[in-house]
């Protein structure tokens, strides 16, 4: 992914200020209870600016966040709560001195792994560091929804007291690869002096079907114990962009 999230990181929390991290964390805790997760040691893959990690720590969990963007980790470190730590590393090959009861990866991080080699390495790595019967919970883009809804150009504008960020997203669809390359054009306007700054990022995203994830799980030592629409808990359909997978280490 190269330089992804390098500049984007500076505007990440503003761009996603309406994302309900509290509700998502409560949802996750509900899943842990429902699937009888034991222990409180969590590894989070692609921990971003650390929002879920901090909220989980407030509920008594210990979290190690693995994040490849040094800029995202810098922001996360400024706000981190007791019981939270971050490591700059790639989720395909991170190393740890301890094992974990639970692995999580939220907001489509696994969809950033666009090739099978990276997916297999990541799942094997998670398997290695998870305790017996540990859960691995993640959400990914859902192929059925991508085929049915077909991604199109979108514009998002957000502002705070100092800046206005305009993000134009232009998708390029690679149907035979199950990849949508999302090309972001981002303009940041300084509301104090009117100056603007422009940059671009490319986020290639892979989408998945349940049989694909089941095969990946099976070959890396997991069982898919449940899938549902992320947050709403609905049965995945062509309307479901993000599907939540709950895997158990065999
Ligand atoms: C959409 S953000 C989600 C961040 C956070 N989980 C959240 O919910 O706000 C995706 C994050 O995954 C990270 N990421 C993507 N691929 C990664 C990889 N191979 N190794 C480590 N981090 C990765 C990105 O740097 C980015 O911070």
The domain that contains 158 carries what CATH number? 2.20.25.110
Q: Residue 239: CB partners within 8 Å, gap ≥ 6?
A: 145, 148, 149
Q: Which of 91, 93, 108, 109 gets mutated to test ligand 1 (max ligand atoms within 8 A of its CB)? A: 109
Q: Decide: 249 and 235 in contact? Cβ < 8 Å.
A: no
- Mark whether 99 and 178 lie in a shared domain: no
Are 186 and 216 within one domain? no
- With a CB cutoff of 8 Å and minimum separation 6, the contacts of 9 are 49, 69, 71, 72, 74, 75
Domain shared by 173 and 224, yes or no = no
Residues 158, 244 within the same domain: no
Ligand 1 neighbours, Cβ below 6 Å, are: 1, 5, 46-48, 51-52, 66-69, 72, 90-92, 106-109, 112
Query: Which residue's CA is the closest to the ligand 1 atom numbered 4?
Result: 48
- Considering the domain architecture, whether residues 44 and 20 belong to the same structural domain is answered as yes
**pLDDT value at position 1?**
46
- Is 1 within a domain? no
Alpha helices by DSSP H, listed for 114-239, are 116-129, 143-149, 210-220
pTM, 2 dp: 0.96
Query: Would you say residue 52 lies in a domain?
Result: yes
Same domain, 98 and 222: yes
Q: What is the CATH number of the domain that holds 244?
A: 3.40.50.150
Please give the residue range of the domain that contains residue 127.
Answer: 9-141+208-249
Residue 134 in domain: yes
SS in 3 state form for 16-52? CCCCCHHHHHHHHHHHHHHCCCCCCEEEEECCCCCHH
For residue 4, the ligand 1 atom closest to its alpha carbon is 25
Q: Is residue 18 part of a domain?
A: yes
Together in a domain, 112 and 153: no
Question: How many distinct structural domains can be found in the chain?
Answer: 2
For residues 122 and 198, membership in a common domain is answered with no
- Do 36 and 121 fall into the same domain? yes
Whether 126 is in a domain gets the answer yes
Are 107 and 90 found together in one domain? yes
Give the integer Cα–Cα distance in Å for 165 and 156.
Answer: 8
Q: Is the residue at 179 inside a domain?
A: yes
CA 96 to centroid of ligand 1, rounded, Å: 18
Query: 201 and 107, same structural domain?
Result: no
Establish how many alpha carbons lie within 13 A of residue 46's alpha carbon, considering only the half-sphere containing its beta carbon: 19
User: In the numeric block, which tokens belong to residue 117?
Assistant: 């080699």
Residue 212 domain-assigned (yes or no) = yes
| Domain annotation covers residue 2 | no
Radius of gyration of the chain (CA): 18
**CB-based contacts of 90: which residues, under 8 Å, 6+ apart?**
66, 68
Same domain membership, residue 191 and residue 214: no
pLDDT in tens for each of the 250 residues of the chain?
456 788 889 999 999 999 999 999 999 999 999 999 989 999 999 999 999 999 999 999 999 999 999 999 999 999 999 999 999 999 999 999 999 999 999 999 999 999 999 999 999 999 999 999 999 999 999 999 999 999 999 999 999 999 999 999 999 999 999 999 999 999 999 999 999 999 999 999 999 999 999 999 999 999 999 999 999 999 999 999 999 999 999 9
């Amino acid at each position: 992914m190269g330089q992804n999230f390098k500049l984007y990181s500076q505007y990440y929390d503003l761009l996603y200020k309406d994302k309900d991290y509290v509700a998502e964390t409560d949802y996750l805790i509900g899943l842990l209870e429902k699937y009888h997760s034991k222990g409180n040691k969590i590894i989070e893959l692609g921990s971003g600016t650390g929002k879920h990690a901090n909220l989980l720590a407030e509920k008594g969990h210990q979290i190690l966040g693995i994040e490849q963007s040094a800029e995202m980790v810098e922001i996360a470190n400024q706000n981190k709560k007791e019981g939270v730590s971050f490591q700059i590393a790639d989720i395909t090959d991170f190393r740890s001195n301890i094992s974990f009861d639970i692995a999580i990866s939220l907001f489509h991080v696994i969809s950033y792994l666009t090739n099978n080699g990276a997916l297999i390495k990541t799942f094997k790595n998670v398997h290695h560091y998870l305790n017996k019967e540990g859960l691995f919970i993640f959400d990914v883009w859902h192929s059925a929804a991508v085929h049915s809804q077909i991604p199109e150009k979108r514009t998002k504008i957000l502002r705070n007291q100092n800046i206005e960020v305009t993000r134009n997203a232009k998708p390029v669809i690679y149907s035979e690869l199950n990849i949508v390359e999302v090309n972001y054009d981002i303009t940041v306007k300084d509301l104090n002096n009117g100056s603007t700054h422009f940059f671009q990022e490319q986020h290639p995203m892979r989408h998945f079907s349940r049989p694909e994830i089941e095969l990946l799980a099976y070959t890396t030592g997991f069982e898919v114990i449940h899938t549902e629409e992320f947050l709403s808990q609905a049965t995945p359909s062509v309307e479901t962009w993000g599907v939540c997978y709950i895997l158990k280490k065999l």
